[in-house]
Structure 1
Amino acid sequence: MPISAKELEEKLKNEIQATHLEIVDTSDGCGAKFQALIVSPQFEGKPLIQRHRLVHSTLEEELKDIHAFSMKTLTPEQWQKQNS
């Protein structure tokens, strides 16, 4: 069963309290490739590798069925600065 961007959004909001998400299915709807921008206060004080590990552990089951998942992870402060 294909994974939807909506399913990923809901899980990330619930599990890592993501405050902003942009998830795009880049596989033409088959749910095999996604690009994600994830903003969460849980990323505060964590280096990039720990942020990515947090996302990977959160989406562990879903990633078994996803061919490619690229992400950009930001803290709320970084997101605010980027969009000022």
Structure 2
Amino acid sequence: MRVERIRQKLQDELKPLRLEIEDEGHKHVGHAHADGGHFRVFIVCPAFAGKPLIARHRMVYEALSEQMREEIHALSIVARAPEEVTDNG
């Protein structure tokens, strides 16, 4: 399953404290890539501390580079350092 492969890659590469992945393919019915490939990622990772948003996104894209070529058409990312997150997200 795509979500599990994404989860495993992000866990292996970035060691997040919190990771939520949502397959949003159902929101794109009728689009060219309606078969899937649209995902939302919420990730809290110590490696993001002190890094700007663009660097955080690059880290996620690099961790998922193989999936980005074949399985992921669109990726929405919310990337936070632990100190930026409350219990409610």
Does residue 58 in structure 1 map to residue 66 in structure 2? Answer: no
Q: Distance in 2 between matches of 1:31 and 1:18?
A: 24
* Counterpart position of 2:31: none
SS at match of 1:36: strand
Number of corresponding residues: 81
TM-score (norm 2): 0.81
4+ residue segments displaced more than 4 Å = none
SS at match of 1:73: strand
Give 1:41's aligned amino acid.
P
* Counterpart position of 1:26: 24
Give 1:47's aligned amino acid.
P
TM-score (norm 1): 0.85
Does residue 79 in structure 1 map to residue 85 in structure 2? Answer: yes
Match of 2:75 among 69, 72, 82: 69
Gaps of 5+ in 1: none
Give the aligned CA root-mean-square deviation in angstroms: 1.9
